[in-house]
Structure 1
Amino acid sequence: MQRDARPAGAFEVTHRMVLGLALPMTLGFLTIPLLGITDTAVAGRLGDPAMLAGLAIGAVLFDLIFGSFNFLRASTTALVAQAWGREDRAEQEAVFWRALATAVVCGVAIVLLSPLLLAGGLWIMSPGTETAAATSEWFMIRMLSVPAGLANFAILGYLLGRAQTRIGLFLQVLINSINIVLTILFGLTLGYGIAGIAVATAISEVIGTAAGLYVVLKPFRARNPLDVPGTFAREKLRALFALNGDILIRTFVLIGAFFILTRIGSGFGPVTLAANAVLMNFFMVAGFWLDGLANAAETIIGRAIGATYRPAFERGVWLTGIWSAVLAGFTTLVFLAIGHPLIDFLTTVPEVRLAAYQHLPWAALTALSGFLAFHMDGVYIGATWSHAMRNRMVMAFAGYCLALALLVPSLGNHGLWISLNIFLVLRGVLLLMRLPGLKAGLFTPAPAT
């Protein structure tokens, strides 16, 4: 009989643990699409489809840039969780300082480059004059908060890596609640329109950063990062940059897929583009709902690897996968049941509503088609299998492009949404197929007894 030795950092993975990690962050992440819904609803009530289309294009451009740096959150979670599994408190703090320094440097660089980034984005998207003006107004204000936003990635990653999900929930709710209130105040009540939406987001990001730094740094044993041994050691930085580079490429490909979706949708006219912007909120809700479980997988898998404890790894993969599938099915059913009233809330433009009704089933299906991809992302990030994750993202993207080439010419916007669902399925299946081989070399078998 063979059994795994039980190391000092061993822990049991239960349904209660999985839900205890996932639900707080699920609730926190759900405030993010609620913010997107609020932005869309405010822009949709400005009475000009160009404003809503401009916000849609601006959001895609911003996500293409800002979202590409999500590696700061993901890599921080994985490395902190693994250090936690090893019971190495100094390395946990060192990981945070590296992530925060990277966030500040990258954030300042993005702000300085924002005029060029906007010009390039508008050239690629080729919107109409009024839509381009709305996009520019929103984008340039929104970019001012990028350093704070990237710092929040590092803060949240650290908290998730230590399973401090309730604090993460508090910060997410704080940021997005302030954002929602200020968006309505500035955008509608005070009549600042799309500029008011951007200002609200910038203010909330800065407040969130201040609160997050206070919470994270208060219990640190060393308040000065230079007092933590090896914080900026060359080999540690090299390993961090290699991990971040793989996740960056993977994230860039992912956001590029949504960029292409918006770009093709813009070719169908402003009404279809606006309808797709409304429906993407459904996908965002599904994604952030499932992200809570993906983050639970990151923490559990990273901690299990740090503790070199196979049972926790295997049960963590299984339980987070089960709950992801259950929540995905529930989400799709809810969207199909109440999708029309939600669309009516998001826009008052009759032709945009009609177009959104027609494509609602495809948007609702993204929860089911994408749950495995979200789940596997959590497993791979927690295990720091970034190279394999990057390669399978590129393979899925190739399949997505093929689907677009085959389906869009004949099915139009329906083909666009079908291709998105195919892309999500491919991501999950390709990662799942590679999992057994990677897991086989992860733990050293214990001696037979």
Structure 2
Amino acid sequence: MEPAPKPFVVNNRLVLGIAVPMTLAYLSVPLAGLVDTAVIGQLGDAAFIGGIAVGAIILDVIFTTLNFLRSGTTGLVAQAFGANDRKEEQAILVRALLIALVAGLLIILFQVPVTRLGIVAMDVGPNVADATSNYLLVRIWAAPFMLANYALVGWALGVGRSFLVLALQTVLTLTNIVLSLLFVLDFGWGVTGVAAASVIAEMVAFFAFLPFLIPHVSGAQRPSLKRVFEKAGFARLIVVNRDIMIRSFSVLFAFAFFTRQGAALGAVTLAANSVLMHFFLVAGYFLDGFANAAEQLVGRAVGARFPPAFDRAVRLTVVWGFALALSLVGLYFLAGGTLVDMMTTSQDVRETARLYLPWACLTPLAGALAFQMDGVFIGATWSKEMRNMMLASLASFFVLCFVLMPPFGNHGLWAALLVFLGLRGLTLAWRLPVKRQGMETATI
């Protein structure tokens, strides 16, 4: 017998039950990076700090591009969960884990050329290059476990177990912090110790997750190998992941271009923009929680073929997202100057940052709809539209930079960024009614 979808009610408690644990999980991510930098800073060698920073940027390009293993898995699993299809939930997870294993092994196989290419691209001095190489050649061994954890988080979020994601991230962060302190300060391993701590932390988190996973994937609901390797299932996962990867890489490219354009305006402007971008990055950790709620609830509604839950999920997550964004905007306008002073001691950078501070304060509001629409489209696995709207928004960003920067300088650059963030959300919202109508027709 085919599994029967189950209608469900979306309310504020359900939204917050997903969003709050996911927000806490995301906020723990920069904590580990901050501790790593502080620990290495105790050694008194600037090259070590630079090596970790450069290595982190190179890894961000690799792993953020592969983050589709998390978001793509979430949307597909949420739909299977909504359809009450336990076998397909598990089949999707196994497929994602297999892709994670293959991708992780390929990264390890090509670690030397990837490391060299990254160092050349970053154009750093010999001491920083050596520290970066020492860091990456150890850190990159975490790739299979890190990518597998992406898939596990995607599955857990897809079935609505956000507290399990928080537990996984907490284990990962605490293990990383404790081992970094031990390996660097007690054992004297330097950047290699920080890298080794990250590798072991990813492994510990993976194996700590298994006891919670095994009961769910055992018994009569376990899918056959034939179903796991079903061509159509793999094809759908690959197509969704491909489109999300293009979208993620486009976001990275946009912010890299923003940084490059800021650098052309001088070192002080570059530093000020870097400080101000933290306002948006911190806001992103909060807004992502409600975007994750949209992913799970929208995907579940699509799987259950229940439009009322879809509409309610979209409405509530957008309302909560904008409420949070407005709160952050207010906080930034009130305390922005103090926050800038906390992030830099350079008077020139402080004064320049204050000049462009209002733009940075508005980034949460400009990006709120983009975060929520991303969550909706990921949950519904409408990845083609998300990819296309991202590319259109990116093209608009380039045009606006070249039009606005000559007369307005850095003000023009920030204005182009805010329009880019806004267009991402508006273009997806424009496509939403068409896709929603198609969902209702399929239901009927």
* Structures share fold, TM-score greater than 0.5: yes
| Aligned residues of 1:37 and 1:346 also touching (Cα < 8 A) | no
Match of residue 386 from structure 1: 383
The answer to whether structure 1 residue 85 and structure 2 residue 82 are counterparts is yes
- CA separation in 1, counterparts of 2:353 and 2:179? 27
TM-score, length-normalised on structure 1?
0.87
- CA separation in 1, counterparts of 2:348 and 2:177? 26
SS in structure 2 of the partner of residue 12 of structure 1: coil
- CA separation in 2, counterparts of 1:269 and 1:159? 45
The answer to whether structure 1 residue 61 and structure 2 residue 58 are counterparts is yes
Report the alpha carbon displacement of residue 363 of structure 1 after superposing the two structures with TM: 3.4
Match of residue 243 from structure 1: 240
RMSD: 3.1
Q: Which amino acid aligns with 2:236?
A: A
Report the alpha carbon displacement of residue 401 of structure 1 after superposing the two structures with TM: 1.5
Identity of aligned residues (%): 44
TM-score, length-normalised on structure 2?
0.88
SS in structure 2 of the partner of residue 255 of structure 1: helix
- CA separation in 1, counterparts of 2:409 and 2:134? 31
Match of residue 438 from structure 2: 441
Q: Which amino acid aligns with 2:140?
A: M
- CA separation in 2, counterparts of 1:183 and 1:416? 38
Report the alpha carbon displacement of residue 446 of structure 1 after superposing the two structures with TM: 7.9
SS in structure 1 of the partner of residue 103 of structure 2: helix
SS in structure 2 of the partner of residue 249 of structure 1: helix
Deviations 1:180-213 (A, max 9, x none): 4444555667765544443332222221111123
Match of 1:100 among 97, 101, 117: 97
Residues 302 and 277 (structure 1), Cα distance of their counterparts in 2 relative to 1, 3 Å cut: same
| Aligned residues of 1:377 and 1:389 also touching (Cα < 8 A) | yes
Report the alpha carbon displacement of residue 251 of structure 1 after superposing the two structures with TM: 1.2
Structure 1 segment 101-250 matched on structure 2, within 5 A: 101-183=98-180, 186=183, 194-221=191-218, 227=224, 230-250=227-247
Report the alpha carbon displacement of residue 35 of structure 1 after superposing the two structures with TM: 3.1
Residues 445 and 146 (structure 1), Cα distance of their counterparts in 2 relative to 1, 3 Å cut: closer
Report the alpha carbon displacement of residue 265 of structure 1 after superposing the two structures with TM: 4.5
- CA separation in 2, counterparts of 1:35 and 1:339? 24
The answer to whether structure 1 residue 425 and structure 2 residue 422 are counterparts is yes
Deviations 1:195-248 (A, max 9, x none): 444333222222111112332223322599774550111121112111111111
Match of 1:323 among 320, 325, 349: 320
Deviations 1:415-441 (A, max 9, x none): 444433222111111111111111111
Residues 397 and 257 (structure 1), Cα distance of their counterparts in 2 relative to 1, 3 Å cut: same
Residues 428 and 109 (structure 1), Cα distance of their counterparts in 2 relative to 1, 3 Å cut: same
- CA separation in 2, counterparts of 1:239 and 1:89? 18
- CA separation in 2, counterparts of 1:409 and 1:142? 42
Residues 407 and 32 (structure 1), Cα distance of their counterparts in 2 relative to 1, 3 Å cut: farther
Q: Which amino acid aligns with 1:91?
A: E
Report the alpha carbon displacement of residue 179 of structure 1 after superposing the two structures with TM: 2.5
Unaligned runs of 5+ in 1: 1-6
Size of the aligned set, in residue pairs, is 441
Deviations 1:66-120 (A, max 9, x none): 1111111111111111111111111111111001111010011112223222333
- CA separation in 1, counterparts of 2:82 and 2:226? 19
Structure 1 segment 404-423 matched on structure 2, within 5 A: 404-409=401-406, 412-423=409-420
SS in structure 1 of the partner of residue 203 of structure 2: helix
Match of 2:7 among 2, 10, 13: 10
- CA separation in 2, counterparts of 1:56 and 1:274? 15
| Aligned residues of 1:44 and 1:347 also touching (Cα < 8 A) | no
Match of residue 4 from structure 1: none
